[in-house]
Structure 1
Amino acid sequence: MPKEIEFQFKSPNESPGYLLGQLTMLWQRKQKRVLDPLNITHTQFVLLAALGWLGKKSDVVTQVDIATQSNSDRMMVSKVLRTLEDKNFISRHEHPTDTRAKVIKLTDAGADILQQALSAVENADIEFFSVLGDKLPSFNKNMVYLTEENKED
């Protein structure tokens, strides 16, 4: 007879990790539905959005900057940026001072697709999270806190 499995939580609904996983899967499905017609993945959207955000503050945005802003793995960012370059959504240029780095810029096509994706994703988010009503600000605050407290340096 197999050994009895012991769970710390009495039910899945008491496990924050389980609940976060379930919520994330539902949210990702909704994001996929709105991004599929634009022919971009959620990861591509996140990196384009990070580039768009950083590009508002600086003309010199690097791959490392995008990885840091999006809290993403640098190697994954490199691969996805290559795909975005193949789609003509970004371009790479020589860095003015660092010969090892490239400056990443949105192309006109990239800016167009990012604007469409932002609209679609933001509307999907509003719909998805609207059920929280006046609890949304504290939910967001808690997510920011958890993100900041668990960031790896």
Structure 2
Amino acid sequence: MPLSPSNSPGFLLWHATLRWQRNISTALAPLDLTHVQFVLLARAWWLNTQGEHPNQLALARQVGTDVKMTSRVLRTLEHKGLIEREVDPADTRAKRLRVTDTGADLAPRAIAAVECADARFFQPVPLDMAITLLGRLAHPES
């Protein structure tokens, strides 16, 4: 006999994910960023602050996005003046990413907005418990 939806972990996860995504979208809307734009901008910004200038493929792999979709979203971020894509001298087929000054100003503000939305969303659950559970779900091989 199948579980009722209220007892189905997958169904509950589906609804929790939808609610969380709506909260993140709401937090990012005033900054004119989608969730995927935020993830790519924030990760590129962080890598740039560490002295790294990843190419599009490396960034897509790090954040877990499709390579073609990543390229389209990065093009949008470039049109918004938030990143620059430069030909990689080591591989002329690849584009290295550099966050612009405008992007470097926006990234920490967007991260703060997302962290605030996350804190509100996960508030009913102790943070260490949420991190442990989600870490196990995200990386079952660990």
Instruction: Assess same fold via TM > 0.5.
Output: yes
- 1:33-52 mapped onto 2 (5 Å cutoff): 33-52=26-45
> 2:130 is matched by which residue type in structure 1?
F
Q: Deviations over 1:78-101 (max 9, x none)?
A: 110010000000001121311111
TM-score by length of 2: 0.91
- Picking from 20, 25, 48, the partner of 2:18 is 25
Is 1:140 matched up with 2:139?
no
Which residues in structure 2 correspond to 1:56-135 (within 5 Å)?
A: 56-133=49-126
Q: Measure, in 2, the Cα distance between the counterparts of 1:53 and 1:16.
A: 34
Higher relative CO (Cα under 8 Å, sequence separation at least 6) belongs to 2
Does 105-114 or 56-65 show the bigger shift?
Answer: 56-65
For 1:3, the equivalent position in structure 2 comes to: none
Q: Which of 1, 4, 8 is equivalent to 2:2?
A: 8
Aligned-partner Cα distance in 1 for 2:28–2:135: 24
The whole-number CA distance in structure 2 between the counterparts of 1:78 and 1:16 is: 34
Structure with higher Rg: it is: 1
Structure 2 counterpart of 1:49, one-letter code: A
C-alpha RMSD over aligned residues: 1.5
Shift of 1:130: 1.3
- The answer to whether the 8 Å contact 1:60/1:95 transfers is no
Give the paired residue count.
141
Superposition deviation, residue 123 in structure 1: 1.0
Q: Is the 8 A contact 2:122 2:130 kept in 1?
A: no
Further displaced range: 51-60 or 61-70: 51-60
Per-residue deviation, 1:142: 2.0
Give the 3-state SS of the residue equivalent to 1:100 in structure 2.
strand
Structure 1: which 5+ runs fail to align?
Answer: 1-6
SS in 1 for 2:92: coil
TM-score, normalized by length of structure 1? Answer: 0.85
Residue 148 of structure 1 aligns with an amino acid whose one-letter code is H
- Counterpart of 1:4 in structure 2 is none
Unaligned runs of 5+ in 2: none
How far apart, in 1, do the equivalents of 2:94 and 2:46 lie?
A: 19
Residues 36-74 of structure 1: per-residue CA shift (max 9 Å, x gap):
111111110011112123223343311111111111111
